[in-house]
């Protein structure tokens, strides 16, 4: 019996990993096999979405897992074309879930490549596995130094932290915070780009007041970013518990934030704009110091003097209660948007409540755009000399009038030292008075004793 020769199915979309993609207009029919071979007709009907034709062929005994010369199956074809109903029928009839073609591509990989989300969900539901991540490299020498083996991350007792973005995991005996990007990332080029950008930023950052980057998982799915875990939580939770802070504490925290932000803004060759500076993205370490965190919507400022932004902000990206008016108006902006946010945070630490706390968050930027600012309600003594003026400068309507963080640090240190000197002087005066009182007491006792000896 003469076996049927192998054929190549060239109609429709081709493998996502094929070096040369061929469309139906490029196909050749060398000897008419495509028209008569039921296996090829199965591939053709799968590319056309012909459910009835597929059922008849399978009922007649055609192999649902037939592979052409490129090792492609009908499920590969259906995944490329985006026919979820066809893929479901093929799976019901016994189609293998993860067959690989000659280039190593699976039906799931093809569905992801062509952005056929319905097929992706169906294949994942049936247990299809992601072979590689979007940043996967073929040469071991190209694997980044920061790469962490996903098997080393233990999520057994995982708990979501920081707005659910990060989760706690155990890595080599140490608790870490892990940002895990779900498999939906593969079908969203914007999310892949955002992940790459955040990873690039983390690699540039090394500062005591910025959360420490430990590594990442990029060679398998899901991809992850791993940073240090700070168990004391974020500033938002702390302020919720404590309310208004003492001036000296607020100044210490403000200096921590300003130092971290100054480092980011003075990054070379391009400044790093945080764009989402708010209490939930500021973490407390074991020593009580603050660290700036969460660079998911940060970006590098392109150009020496440019005030351009490449990624428009949305309500899903950030908390609008701390957003500068130029961002809300979708105007060009620079590092001064972070200075505006900083002013609101500093005032909140002293006032004990969020800016415009009684106003719906979506409406707050409209107030900023109308040149309104949160009122100063705390007693005057809560604001050290010069602090209220600094806040007003930092949230100035004109970004050019807002001071850079380098200057903010100097002014905060001056205000802090002024308070510290006054505190020191009060302590010394108290001690002096106490000593004087003790001396008077001793003289009185001595006189009494002397008088007793005369009697």
Active site residue: 101, 256, 276, 334, which one?
A: 276
E strands present in 229-365? 272-273, 282-284, 290-292, 299-300
Per DSSP, what are the bridge partners of residue 215? 226
- Beta-carbon contacts of 400 under 8 Å, excluding residues fewer than 6 positions away, are 336
DSSP-derived letter for residue 165 is T
Q: Are strands 166-171 and 153-154 parallel, antiparallel or unpaired?
A: antiparallel
The dihedral sign for the CA sequence 244, 246, 251, 257: negative
- Integer angstrom CA distances of residue 364 from 232, 321, 323, 325, 352: 29, 6, 9, 10, 18
Helix runs in 126-186, H state only: none
Q: What percent of the residues of the chain are helix, what percent strand, and what percent coil, each to the nearest 5?
A: 45, 10, 45
Is-catalytic flag, 286?
no
Burial class of residue 191, CB neighbours in 10 A (0-12, 13-18, 19+)? middle
DSSP-derived letter for residue 149 is -
Within its chain, how far is the Cα of 82 from the centroid? 31
Within its chain, how far is the Cα of 320 from the centroid? 17
> Which two three-digit tokens encode residue 339?
């200075």
Residues serving a catalytic function are 276
């Amino acid at each position: 019996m003469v076996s049927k020769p192998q054929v190549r199915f060239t109609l429709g979309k081709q493998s996502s990993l094929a070096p040369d993609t061929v469309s139906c207009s490029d196909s050749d029919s060398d000897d008419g096999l495509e028209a008569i071979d039921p296996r090829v007709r199965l591939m053709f009907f799968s590319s056309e979405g012909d459910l009835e034709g597929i059922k008849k062929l399978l009922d007649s005994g055609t192999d649902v897992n037939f592979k052409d010369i490129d090792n492609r199956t009908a499920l590969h074809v259906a995944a490329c074309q985006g026919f979820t109903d066809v893929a479901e029928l093929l799976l019901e009839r016994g189609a293998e879930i993860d067959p690989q073609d000659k280039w190593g591509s699976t039906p799931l990989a093809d569905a992801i490549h062509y952005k056929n989300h319905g097929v992706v969900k169906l294949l994942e539901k049936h247990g299809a596995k992601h072979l590689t991540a979007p940043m996967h490299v073929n040469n071991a020498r190209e694997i980044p130094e920061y790469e962490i083996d996903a098997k080393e991350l233990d999520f057994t007792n995982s708990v979501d932290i920081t707005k659910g973005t990060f989760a706690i995991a155990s890595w080599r005996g140490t608790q870490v915070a892990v940002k895990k990007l779900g498999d939906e990332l593969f079908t969203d080029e914007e999310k892949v780009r955002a992940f790459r950008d955040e990873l690039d930023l983390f690699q540039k950052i090394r500062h005591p007041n910025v959360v420490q980057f430990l590594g990442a998982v990029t060679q398998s799915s899901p991809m992850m970013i791993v940073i240090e875990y700070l168990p004391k939580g974020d500033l938002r939770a702390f302020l919720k518990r404590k309310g208004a802070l003492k001036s000296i504490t607020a100044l210490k925290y403000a200096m921590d934030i300003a130092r971290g932000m100054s480092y980011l803004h003075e990054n070379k060759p391009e400044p790093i704009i945080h764009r989402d500076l708010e209490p939930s993205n500021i973490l407390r370490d074991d020593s009580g110091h603050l660290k700036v965190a969460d660079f998911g919507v940060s970006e590098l400022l392109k150009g020496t003097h440019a005030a351009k932004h490449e990624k428009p902000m949305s309500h899903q990206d950030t908390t609008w209660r701390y957003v500068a008016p130029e961002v809300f108006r979708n105007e060009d902006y620079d590092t001064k948007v972070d200075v505006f946010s900083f002013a609101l945070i500093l005032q909140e630490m002293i006032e004990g409540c969020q800016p415009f706390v009684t106003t719906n968050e979506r409406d707050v930027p409209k107030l900023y755009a109308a040149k309104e600012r949160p009122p100063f309600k705390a007693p005057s003594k809560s604001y050290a000399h010069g602090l209220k003026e600094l806040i007003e400068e930092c949230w100035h309507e004109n970004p050019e009038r807002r001071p850079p963080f380098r200057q903010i640090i100097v002014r905060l240190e001056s205000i802090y030292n002024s308070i510290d000197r006054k505190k020191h002087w009060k302590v010394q005066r108290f001690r002096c008075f106490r000593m004087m009182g003790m001396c008077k007491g001793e003289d009185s006792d001595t006189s009494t004793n002397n008088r007793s000896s005369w009697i």
